[in-house]
Copies of this chain bind each other. A is one copy, B any other.
Amino acid sequence: MAPRSVAVIGASTNPHKSGGILFKNIVDGAYLGRLYPINQRADVVLGHPAFPSITAVPEAVDLAFIVVPKAGVKDALEDCARSGVKSACIITAGFGESGEVGREAQLELASIARDRQILTIGPNTIGLINAEQSLMGSFAPFPRWQSGTISIFAQTGIFAGAAALQVMSQDAQRLGIGKSIDVGNKVDVDEIDFLHFASGDPTTEVIGLYLEEMRNQRTFLELANRVKQTKPIVLLKPGRTEQGAVASQSHTGSMASNEQVLDPALRQFGIIRADDIDDFFAYLKAFSYLPLPRGERLGIVTYSGALGVIAVDETVREGLTLADFSEATLRRVGDVLPAWQPASNPADAWVAVEMGGYRSGHEVPFQAVLDDPGTDMVLGILFAPPNADFPDFRDVFSQLRQRQPTKPLALVIYGGEVRERWLPELDGAGIPVFSSTRLAIRALRAMARYSARRGVVYEPMAVTV
């Protein structure tokens, strides 16, 4: 995951060939380690002196990317073994995912990896990213990638890239992913290896897993049960319904997991399961931005009574508890509201803005609800028509966050251009913004459930797979 030296076998001078694309992405990313293009014909690739073979490189590199045509992959991996390469990432596709011949070729790669002790990911992967090292070892370019405390493991050829593109392009707020590894056909390195790595990695604070199959469900559950004591694990694993499981089996050709055991065990252990991609990234965002809540009582501040009522419906539907505000909170919120509008949860604060201006209209109700000992987390539902903007915005929310640094504060913002201006400011203040009330409430629920079960390692129990 953090190689000091990288070779790219098949680094082409042609920027349209696979090996050229990947090498260019690494060069453009300004990788901080030593970089060796391997190219049989060129002396220099994108300014880097090239070597005709990995065996000609003057050191045993930590990681070699293999981006050569299918027929040459086996030789390349054997060359890696010969020159002491520690790990390999096989980008090339056309193996286990493509019929009997491919499956046999893949078995050969697996046995080389195992016999020669090369940690191998792929084949059929978009690659590996370590943003802390500026290593953009990916077949797809991600110019807007931002580093952070999330580490992701994905078992898929295409999905991870599509999902990441979606996140990077549509969401103007930062989602900090420090490390991302796509193992493709999972010939060697698997989710168990990754959990071991991530639990010990000092800069990983949140773990995201996308799995199509589990190699060993029992081992996974036992390990995840321990790892979650220090780091939350968010798991997206489709095939949860019976028909989904059938589809999953036909897609990966793998054994279906035992959902009768898996799902309740995950819930009991406090491993967070996402239903879909929206959940997956919303949960990762919440865990990476927010402190853990102490319970599941939600306080809501809104600037639209209608959106507040919708939020109450969602809170109940998703199984969170609507907090009872204390007398002191009701009095403090009431102070900025007219006599005819009684304070309650949700605190509907638009009139407070109209009466006292933007600053106090936001500050007072949010502070009161954050300070209330009866709230474990706070959700603000703002809307951002052109006239809702105010210059103190960043200042107000930074101070709110600092005032109660141990209580989660999340926002949903409906509206257009002003929303886009607010997002980076809230990013700086450490406040996550979700694309819908439902997603925000689901993310907060995930945090509350994790928080309640985090400290406990449950008995190895009745995991009979």
Give chain B residues whose Cβ lies under 8 Å from the Cβ of A165.
Answer: 383-385, 414-416
Contact with B along A90-105 (1 / 0, CB 8 A): 0000000011101000
Q: Report the minimal beta-carbon distance from A221 to chain B, rounded to whole angstroms.
A: 20
Q: Report the minimal beta-carbon distance from A181 to chain B, rounded to whole angstroms.
A: 16
Copies of this chain, count: 2
A252 near B416 with CB under 8 A, answer no
Contact with B along A412-439 (1 / 0, CB 8 A): 0011110100000000000000001110
Is residue A332 within 8 Å, beta carbon to beta carbon, of the partner chain? Answer: no
Q: From B162, B168, B307, give the contact of A304 (CB < 8 A).
A: B162
Known: A385-B165, A436-B278. A159 touches B306 (CB 8 A): yes
Contact with B along A223-260 (1 / 0, CB 8 A): 00000000000000011111110111011100000000
Give chain B residues whose Cβ lies under 8 Å from the Cβ of A99.
Answer: 338-341
Give chain B residues whose Cβ lies under 8 Å from the Cβ of A316.
Answer: 241-244
How many residues does chain A have at the interface if contact means C-beta atoms less than 8 Å apart? 73
Q: From B170, B238, B243, give the contact of A310 (CB < 8 A).
A: B238
A305 near B437 with CB under 8 A, answer no
Interface residues of A, dominant DSSP = helix
Is residue A317 within 8 Å, beta carbon to beta carbon, of the partner chain? Answer: yes
- Of the candidate stretches A39-47, A72-80, A342-350, the one touching chain B is A342-350
Residue of B nearest to A343 (CB): B250
Is residue A464 within 8 Å, beta carbon to beta carbon, of the partner chain? Answer: no
A312 near B351 with CB under 8 A, answer no
Most chain B C-beta atoms within 10 Å of own C-beta, residue among A241, A348, A351:
A241
Residues of A that sit less than 8 Å from B by CB: 98-100, 102, 140-141, 156, 158-159, 161-163, 165-166, 168-170, 210, 212, 238-244, 246-248, 250-252, 275-278, 303-310, 312-317, 322, 338-342, 344, 346, 348, 350-351, 383-386, 414-417, 419, 436-438
